[in-house]
A and B are shown apart, each in its own frame.
Chain A
Amino acid sequence: MKIALAGNPNSGKTTLFNALTGLNQKIGNWAGVTVEKKSGRYRADKSIEIIDLPGVYSLNPISADEKITRDFLLTEKADAVINVLDSADLERGLMLTLQLVETGIPVVLALNMQDELKLHGLTLDIAAFERELKIKAAAVSARKNRNINALMELAVAAAKDGTAAPFTAQGDSEEEKTAFRHAYIASVIDVLRVKSESKIKRITQKIDKIVLNKWLAFPIFAAVIFTMFYVSIQSVGGWLSESVEWLFFDAIGENLRTGLTGAGAAQWVSSLMVDGIVAGVGTVLAFVPQIIILFLFITFLEGCGYMARIAVLMDRIFKKLGLSGKSFIPMLIGCGCTVPAIMSAKTIDGEAERKKTILLTPFMPCSAKLPVFALIAGALFPNNPFVAPSMYFLAIAMVIVWGLLLNAFRRKKASSDAVVMQLPHYRLPQAKFVALELWSKVKGFLIRAGVIIVPAAIILWFLQSFSFGFVFVETQDSILAAIGRGIAWIFRPLGFGDWQAAVAVITGVFAKETVAATFGIMGTDLTQIFTPHAAYAFMAFLLLSAPCAAAVAATRKETNSTKFMFIAFAFQCAAGYLLALIINQAGNLWAYNPTLCISILTGILIAGIFALSIRHAVKKRKRGGGCAAGCGGCVRQTSCAEKENINEAKSEAVKEPLSN
């Protein structure tokens, strides 16, 4: 017997799924798409398969998730659907309920989040659901595992019975049907639910008054973010990462080498084990503590409802860059690891916004880039503590610059997506929920890192340990060095045309954390191959260019487009090259003639602003002209005309006080 779980996002569907199946679940992907598919066996009766469908608001097949849910219900024929409802948000939930009923599959309601209902000052009349809607319902608490068995009994009975509730939305178009369903819900809602004073709403309003206050919002936001980074990257996380590194490289690695040599193993065997495998695994695991703590913060912020406020707070700024307020979350996660960051871009509505977020997120200084910055800054700028942290500002500046540039030069397309963000009521996230979410994020990192970074480390070890004749050699005679010498000329304009720097760049494509290690293995004297500004250019290049192999793979997976992956890769490399070129050439010029350097840079800046503003003005006029000319096929004609009306109204409003 197949029973599907359907419900709105955030309705507690996944919690119920976990409660029903225990931890005995299979996670895969729906064929051809990137949405996760989860199925498991019911704990009490293994013959019942339970399928967790993506959280959706409706069954209109516009987004990928909704299409999957719909297709599943229509083609795979579940025997019954358990529709999970957030009891405190009944109106929205019932919209989906009616659409589920209309598919003809028996539906049973799981009225979840009863405890919150009380806080809202609401009570539900369970019997009324059966009386009014002809649907059997059970009040459950997925978190507390309450009443779950009774719910399953209802579902099994409904599946055996096989008849669906009688409801059909009337209307010719999908829109008329939507309106019909809304009217229907409005007519029954007051019978199903008894209202009184709402406590959680009052609490949420109180908190929002403070965290969304004009003056307090940004200081609070900055304090939260600072605390998060301080704890996860700097203090606790940094210390734990160093411990793991010590464990692998010094404790395990060196002892293994001594042991293998003692046992009479060939030099290349111990080198493969220690420098290849142990070092590869250690490099990956060293980031785990930092990433766990960072994700712990992020999961908590998401669970309690503050992350949604951050998205609202930042939306105004991100909108200017052609992004959504929700783009902040991937960028934040990107400071830990780009892979889960790209995965988290999923929630951004708006295709253009989502793709652009995926394109720009790898600019963030992920925790793998930090040791490289620390190494180079320490060697070349020993007396300047601001060089390494300046990478954060450089990353933010580049997101802004490229956001604006891509905005100005993108193809004009009438976007029909509306950016709507829900601000859920604040709630204290359940420890179990946080743990499960955290595990799913960390697991994603570990699997991808393990599958890509460890083999990459082994390939790298091979390339830098052997010559073309497959003879075990020192690094400077290896295949990698030969490749480095072959491509070094590309980086000469950037100031680091040395083969060792080229080799480091190549290893960076596999995984950024190996760059520092590569310099270490080659015994590179950084002050020999870099001038200070070339070193800074190298850091900038590493910051923007060619995200690691795992991130590139994640880009492909999330956009489901190999073409986009190549475009993104080429774009990021070009952006890094350009920035490094500017930094190095400006540095050279500065050394030659500071005044000339400043005047040229100012000139370029002014020309750039001028070009952008002209383009902006031309675009504006074109847009206006297109509408006034009454373009017949223009989809946005109404809204465009509306815009003009508003503009006119505005300009009149501006004129008025002047004439007075």
Chain B
Amino acid sequence: MTLAQAKKNTQVVIQEIMFQGNGRQRLLDIGFIQGASVEVKGFAPLGDPILIEVNGCLMALRKSDAKNIGIIPKTV
């Protein structure tokens, strides 16, 4: 499953970043790291980008980029 498919208001755990180059480093710096748990807060009014809380910070990430982030839903 990828981050693009995650539902609103769910906690997910990052599994894999399928990104190369600059984008990968940018995502890592922000906190999209294997094993980190992030919360999908919702979507922008037009459905894209996705609003995600990482490390207590709200970030917007495009679905086309989120497709390259593998996740599993967090079991509570």
Do A and B come together as binding partners? yes
Which residue numbers of A lie inside 8 Å of B, CB to CB? Answer: 57-58, 60, 62-63, 88-89, 91-92, 95, 174-175, 178-179, 182, 201, 204, 208, 212-214, 217-218, 311-313, 315-317, 319, 325, 349, 415-424, 635-636, 638-639, 642-643, 646
Q: Is the CB of B45 within 8 A of A218?
A: yes
> For A95, what are the chain B residues with a Cβ–Cβ distance below 8 Å?
29
Give CA–CA (A214, B42) in the complex, Å: 11
Q: Are the CB atoms of B61 and A420 closer together than 8 Å?
A: yes
- Chain A min CB distance to B21 (Å): 3
Nearest first, the 5 closest Cβ-Cβ pairs linking A and B are A416-B21, A418-B23, A316-B46, A217-B45, A423-B58
Residues of A within 8 A of B57 (CB): 89, 92, 422
Query: Using Cβ atoms and an 8 Å threshold, which residues of chain B touch A315?
Result: 44, 48-49, 60, 62
The reply to whether A418 and B61 contact each other, CB–CB distance below 8 Å, is yes
* A420-B48 contact, Cβ under 8 Å, with A179-B34, A638-B18, A643-B67: no
A418 touches B67 (CB 8 A): no
Chain B 34-67, CB within 8 Å of chain A: the 1/0 string? 1010000010111111010001111111101101
Which residues in A have their C-beta under 8 angstroms from that of B24? 175, 416, 418
B59 touches A420 (CB 8 A): yes
Contacting residues, chain A, for B46 (C-beta < 8 A): 313, 316-317
**B10 surroundings in chain A (CB, below 8 A):** none
Q: Is the CB of A416 within 8 A of B45?
A: no
Residues of A within 8 A of B67 (CB): 639, 642-643, 646
B60: contacting residue among A89, A175, A421, CB under 8 A: A421
Question: A8's closest neighbor in chain B, by CB?
Answer: B29
State the total of A-B contacts with C-beta under 8 angstroms.
129
- Contact of A349 with B26 at beta-carbon distance under 8 Å, contacts A179-B34, A416-B21 already known: yes
Give the shortest distance, in Å, between A438 (CB) and chain B (any CB).
27
Report B41 CB to chain A, min CB distance, Å.
Answer: 8
| Chain B residues in 8 Å Cβ range of A212 | 42, 44-45, 51
Are the CB atoms of B22 and A319 closer together than 8 Å? Answer: no
- Contact sample, A vs B, 11 pairs, CB 8 Å cutoff: A89-B55, A175-B28, A212-B42, A212-B45, A315-B44, A316-B49, A319-B64, A417-B21, A418-B19, A420-B59, A638-B18
Residues of A within 8 A of B21 (CB): 416-417, 635
CB-CB nearest in chain B for A198: B56
Tell me which of A57, A417, A423 contacts B51 (CB under 8 A).
Answer: A423
- Please report the C-alpha to C-alpha distance between residue A316 and residue B49 in the assembled complex, in whole angstroms: 7
Contact of B26 among A201, A312, A420, A423 (CB under 8 A): A420
Task: Out of A88, A92, A416, A423, name the residue touching B23 (CB < 8 Å).
Answer: A416
Q: How far is the CA of A179 from the CA of B25 in the complex (A)?
A: 11
A639 near B19 (CB under 8 angstroms)?
Answer: yes
B19, chain A: closest CB distance, angstroms: 6
With A315-B44, A349-B26, A643-B67 already in contact, the answer to whether A91 and B33 are too (CB < 8 A) is no
For residue B31, CB closer than 8 A to chain A, the reply is yes
| Total number of B residues with any Cβ neighbor in A under 8 Å | 38
The answer to whether residues A316 and B51 also contact, given A418-B23, A420-B30, A422-B59 and a CB cut-off of 8 A, is: no
B2 CB–A CB distance under 8 Å: yes
Please, how many angstroms separate the alpha-carbon atoms of A646 and B70 in the complex? 12
Partner of B18, one of A313, A415, A642: A642
Of A89, A175, A417, which contacts B56 at CB under 8 A? A89
- Contact partner of B55 (CB less than 8 A), chosen from A92, A179, A312, A639, is A92
Q: Report the bound CA distance from A423 to B49 in whole Å.
A: 12
Cα distance A526–B26 when bound, in Å?
55
CB neighbours of A57 from chain B (8 A): 29-30
Beyond contacts A60-B29, A213-B45, A418-B23: 19 other A-B pairs, Cβ-Cβ < 8 A, are A92-B30, A95-B29, A178-B29, A178-B33, A179-B34, A182-B31, A201-B56, A315-B44, A315-B48, A316-B48, A415-B23, A418-B22, A418-B26, A418-B62, A418-B65, A418-B68, A421-B60, A422-B59, A639-B18
Determine the residue in chain B with the shortest Cβ distance to A416. Answer: B21
Query: Is B29 touching A423 in the complex (CB atoms < 8 A)?
Result: no
Residues in A whose Cβ lies below 8 Å from that of B28: 175, 178-179
Q: Are B31 and A91 in contact (CB under 8 A)?
A: yes
CA gap between A424 and B20 in the complex, in Å = 27
In the complex, are the beta carbons of A319 and B62 less than 8 A apart?
Answer: yes
In Å, the complex CA distance between A489 and B60 comes to: 51
Contacts of A423 in B (CB 8 A): 51, 58-60
Question: Which B residues lie within 8 Å of A217 (CB)?
Answer: 45
A546 to chain B, nearest CB (A): 33
Q: Are A60 and B25 in contact (CB under 8 A)?
A: yes
Q: With the chains together, A89 CA to B55 CA distance in Å?
A: 8
Q: In the complex, what residues of B have CB within 8 A of residue A317's CB? A: 46
- Closest-by-CB residue of B relative to A418 is B23
User: Which residues of the partner chain B approach A419 to less than 8 Å between Cβ atoms?
Assistant: 49, 61-62, 65
Q: Which residue of B lies closest to A214 (CB)?
A: B45
Give the docked Cα–Cα distance between A175 and B26 (Å).
Answer: 11
Question: Which of A60, A201, A416, A646 is in CB contact (< 8 Å) with B20?
Answer: A416
Assess the B33–A312 pair: CB atoms within 8 A: no
Taking CB atoms, residues of chain A closer than 8 Å to B31 are: 91-92, 182
Q: Is the CB of A417 within 8 A of B45?
A: no
Can you name the residue of chain B whose Cβ is closest to the Cβ of A195?
B56
Chain A positions within 8 Å of B49 at CB level = 312, 315-316, 325, 419, 421
Most A CB within 10 A of own CB, among B2, B29, B34, B68: B29
